């Protein structure tokens, strides 16, 4: 009987930990007719095995142990580079938001700047006051820079008569706030500047273009102080500001939205409230919160949950919510045709899509179109938006990964442009050390100006990888209205040198590729004019771009090399003459 019981135990262990757990619970906890010391020894073994199986069952039933799920709520997703410091700043893009200063010799540009150009005022101020630049952000005709000491400097331009007047960078007042609170984050909407303090308060400077006009007038007025945003029950941990709406993640993981709601981007029914005038809490399905990160586009919002799920809501007219191809009720046939369809048939047994030549023939297969794989459907005259958070679809596997069938881990980060969404997803094996991890960028949504950075074959596309270098890690990613910047490090080449890549619209020179006008797609590498600068972080906003740079310690400029060689030759001549 003892041998039969042990054989039954091994079979249950091979079947499932839960079945073995139930079997041992019945044997170890129920009375038996055995006696003597064998009964006590066997019961002791059964109890020990029961405890071990309970532990194994908890491990099996628990969710995958990704680092994002185990991270505390107060920490940002890994590999989202923030806090890069530098004393140099290069800016390019639309002329209206370029910093100008007579003190540093930064003249007013005659047209849009189509290649990275260093603004000397940033380096002069950093050296004079012992500051480092940590963040640059832009509005349509103004910009803001944040130092490591929590100070904000604003600049901009306005039109007076037939000419455009520029306002040089100046300190933004923070009257009415705590004197010991420093600014931790700053972002721009179409007409306002938003700042997050270290105490979790949100400061808002409204009507910034009007402030620029007042500063340029004959009677220059001082900049107005901010107001403190109300309606939030707890301190804000993270914020994201879109052109017309904003989202705030509290320290307990709750998410609030405020602003325009014409397409449900504030997670309320737009037919009832087209504008969220006060902060409104976003209602997620049970078990989703706390929220780790949220980003705002022009008319949509995306968020990453602590359990690894990705959610989006708002405008879906350009399929930017990641719900699949919702433009029609028929699906994409590419997963069921060609080599991809053949691999899918071998793995799942699902039939391949028939070729167009066979459709309508006498011996044609029963189904003539692929079924829809989208997560949402719209009727003929229904507006394409979702005002409730919808779960994004899983990112499709790239060709090299399809053979193995290994799905991607949860996203490490998300960024949004006006009508597109980018997910940052790790593609290196689980056992790689953190410094050896690599990731990929997957984009969906509007691609009419190359925002997805892959190809121009489709003006709207579902999730697909941006054509950036393989075996690289994204250290910094920023999105403007219709362009993107990324700071990458190629790990396969054995070099930790950061590289700057851009893609998307280049109508105002914001992509930084002077040779290409209109669109930069696929992604192209940008080189700075000064080879002695090391790229630390990329910043975007509307139609402008910027990078924060530090000086290379071991770099020697060509002029310095020439001067040193000249001094060496003169020293040799003097030694020979002696």
Tell me: the pLDDT tens digits for 412-437?
999 999 999 999 999 998 898 888 89
Structure confidence at residue 370 (pLDDT):
55
Using alpha carbons, select from 434, 399, 538, 542 the residue that is nearest to residue 482: 542
Tell me: the pLDDT tens digits for 512-548?
998 888 999 999 999 988 778 899 999 999 999 999 9
Average pLDDT, the chain: 82
For residue 324, pLDDT beyond 50: yes
Average pLDDT over residues 495-499: 81
pLDDT band at 160 (very low <50, low <70, confident <90, very high): confident
pLDDT band at 156 (very low <50, low <70, confident <90, very high): very high
Six-digit token string for 430:
């689980």
Is residue 222 helix, strand or coil?
Answer: coil
Structure confidence at residue 488 (pLDDT):
93
For residue 77, pLDDT beyond 60: no
Structure confidence at residue 91 (pLDDT):
96
Residues 351 and 207: their CA atoms lie apart, in Å, by 59
- The whole-model pTM stands at 0.77
pLDDT band at 70 (very low <50, low <70, confident <90, very high): very low
pLDDT band at 18 (very low <50, low <70, confident <90, very high): very low
Sorted by sequence, the CB contacts under 8 Å of residue 282 that are 6+ apart come out as: 247, 254, 255, 256, 257, 266, 267, 303, 389
Six-digit token string for 396:
């499709």
Give the helix/strand (H/E) hosting 57: helix 36-61
Average pLDDT over residues 431-460: 92
Distance set, CA 26 to CA 6, 21, 23, 41, 398 (Å): 14, 9, 5, 17, 48
pLDDT band at 406 (very low <50, low <70, confident <90, very high): confident
Residue 511: alpha-carbon gap to chain centroid: 18
- Are the CB atoms for 144 and 162 separated by under 8 Å? no
Q: What are phi and psi of 158, to 5 degrees?
A: -150, 160
Structure confidence at residue 559 (pLDDT):
66
For residue 334, pLDDT beyond 60: yes
Using alpha carbons, select from 390, 181, 136 the residue that is nearest to residue 288: 390
Number of H helices, E strands in the chain: 9, 28
């Amino acid at each position: 009987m003892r041998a039969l019981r042990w054989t039954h135990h091994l079979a249950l262990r091979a079947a499932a930990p839960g079945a073995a757990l139930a079997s041992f619970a019945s044997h170890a906890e129920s009375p038996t007719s055995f006696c003597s010391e064998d009964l006590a020894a066997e019961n002791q073994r059964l109890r020990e095995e029961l405890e071990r199986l309970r532990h194994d069952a908890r491990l099996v039933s628990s969710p995958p142990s990704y680092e994002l799920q185990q991270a505390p709520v107060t920490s940002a997703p890994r590999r989202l580079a923030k806090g890069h410091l530098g004393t140099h700043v290069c800016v390019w893009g639309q002329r209206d938001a370029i910093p100008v200063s007579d003190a540093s010799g930064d003249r007013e540009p005659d047209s849009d700047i189509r290649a990275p150009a260093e603004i000397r005022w940033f380096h002069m101020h950093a050296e004079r006051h012992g500051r480092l630049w940590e963040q640059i952000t832009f509005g349509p005709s103004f910009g803001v820079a944040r130092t490591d000491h929590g100070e904000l400097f604003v600049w901009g331009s306005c039109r007076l008569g037939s000419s455009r007047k520029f306002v040089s960078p100046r300190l933004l007042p923070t009257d009415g706030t705590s004197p010991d609170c420093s600014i931790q984050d700053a972002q721009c909407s179409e007409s306002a500047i938003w700042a997050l303090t270290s105490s979790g308060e949100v400061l808002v400077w409204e009507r910034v273009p009007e402030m620029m006009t007042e500063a340029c007038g004959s009677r220059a007025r001082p900049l107005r102080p901010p107001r403190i945003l109300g309606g939030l029950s707890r301190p804000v941990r993270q914020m994201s500001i879109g052109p017309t709406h904003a989202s705030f993640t509290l320290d307990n993981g709750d998410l609030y939205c405020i602003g325009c709601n014409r397409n449900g981007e504030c997670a309320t029914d737009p037919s009832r409230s087209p504008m969220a005038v006060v902060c409104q809490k976003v209602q997620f399905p049970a078990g989703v919160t706390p929220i780790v990160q949220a980003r705002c586009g022009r008319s949509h919002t995306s968020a990453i949950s602590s359990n690894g799920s990705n959610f989006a809501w708002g405008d879906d007219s350009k399929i930017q919510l990641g719900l699949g191809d919702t433009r029609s009720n028929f699906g994409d046939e590419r997963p069921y045709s060609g080599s991809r369809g053949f691999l899918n048939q071998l793995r799942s047994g699902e039939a391949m899509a028939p070729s167009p030549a066979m459709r309508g023939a006498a011996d044609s297969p029963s189904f003539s179109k692929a079924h829809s794989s989208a997560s949402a459907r719209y009727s003929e005259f229904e507006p394409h938006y979702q005002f409730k958070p919808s779960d994004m679809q899983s990112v499709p596997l790239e060709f090299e990964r399809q053979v193995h069938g290994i799905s991607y881990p949860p996203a490490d980060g998300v960024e949004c442009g006006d009508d597109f969404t980018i997910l940052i997803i790790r593609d290196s094996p689980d056992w790689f050390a953190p410094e050896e991890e690599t990731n990929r960028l997957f984009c969906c949504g509007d691609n009419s100006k190359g925002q997805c950075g892959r190809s121009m074959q489709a003006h709207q596309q579902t999730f697909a990888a941006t054509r950036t270098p393989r075996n690289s890690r994204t250290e910094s990613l920023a999105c403007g209205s219709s362009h993107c910047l990324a700071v990458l490090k190629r790990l396969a080449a054995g070099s930790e040198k950061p590289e700057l890549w851009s893609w998307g619209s280049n109508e105002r020179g914001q992509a930084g590729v002077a040779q290409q006008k209109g669109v930069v797609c696929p992604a192209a590498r940008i080189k700075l004019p000064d080879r002695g600068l090391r790229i630390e972080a990329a910043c975007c906003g509307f139609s402008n771009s910027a990078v924060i740079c530090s000086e290379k310690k071991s770099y020697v400029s060509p002029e310095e090399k020439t001067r040193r060689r000249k001094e060496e030759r003169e020293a040799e001549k003097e030694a020979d003459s002696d």
